Chains A and B, each alone.
Chain A
Amino acid sequence: MTGQPGANDEIRASEIRNVVNEHGNLSVDATTLGDEDNLYDAGMNSHSTVRVMLAIEERLGVRFPDELLTRETFVSLASLERAVTYLSGSS
């Protein structure tokens, strides 16, 4: 990824929120959720978790390895951002 880290962080966070909104099957608008709100409590199910993972991979050019396929990874927008940051090799 190029550009300033701060800008990248914002773009990444925005993309993740958009993906969760489109594929997360939530009962609420993801733009209204806090970063640490529980996505499973907001309606995300196991099948939509897979869709969210594949869409993030597609849009942000990362791949979730098997060891990151945990509930902890997908439980919130913030946990997804942490995982993508880790997978992108930046902090």
Chain B
Amino acid sequence: MIEPRIVRPGLVGSGVGIDLVEVDEVAEALEHFGTRYLERIFTAAEIRSANGGSDHFRLAGMAAAKEATLKALTPADGDAVPLKSIEISELDAGKPTVSLSGASASLAARTGVSQLSVSVSVSAGHALAVVLAEGISRVEPT
């Protein structure tokens, strides 16, 4: 006799990340390190979207979203994931999106993450971002 089994949908690669960045800290880093700071963290498209780096609020929002994404992807201590491999766009439209490339895309593929949802809030002093990482739905025996 075949035993009946209950099946339910499951998720692989699920994770959540949150990050808080001080706008002043971004401004100070820019003042001290200049373009080196911009070019190590942000993609060319992100720098353009922040008026060449002069929009500190947008930079802080994108930096928070990148770090929250990294946390949601849950890298191991030895995983090298440059922040430039995570690109944030559509911050103005109120529905920002995350695009992965290179090391971050490889990490997502390895951990089964197929979808990232991001929310960003920027105030006068801080930028806060939350990212939800979800994987491919599948059926698992219980």
Contacts and interface: CB of A to CB of B under 8 A. Distances in A.
A75 B32 CA distance: 23
Interface of A: 25, 46-48, 50-51, 53-55, 57-58, 66-72, 75
A69 B33 CA distance: 18
Given A66-B80, A66-B103, A70-B79, A54 B21 contact: no
Nearest to A70: B80
A36 B29 CA distance: 26
A68 B81 CA distance: 9
Given A46-B70, A71-B79, 5 more contacts: A47-B63, A51-B32, A54-B36, A58-B33, A70-B77
B137 to A, nearest CB: 30
A47 B64 CA distance: 9
Size category, B interface: 20 to 34
A54 B79 contact: no
Contacts of A66: 80, 82, 103
Contacts of A68: 80
A46 B67 contact: yes
27 contacts: A25-B25, A47-B21, A47-B22, A47-B25, A47-B26, A50-B37, A50-B40, A50-B41, A50-B83, A51-B29, A51-B32, A53-B40, A54-B33, A54-B36, A54-B40, A55-B33, A66-B80, A66-B103, A69-B82, A70-B75, A70-B78, A70-B79, A70-B80, A71-B78, A71-B79, A72-B77, A72-B78
Interface in B1-23: 19, 21-22
Q: Is the interface of B mostly helix, strand, loop or mixed?
A: helix
A84 to B, nearest CB: 17
A46 B67 CA distance: 7
A71 B77 contact: yes
Nearest to B63: A47
Nearest to A57: B36
Contacts of B80: 66-70
B37 to A, nearest CB: 6
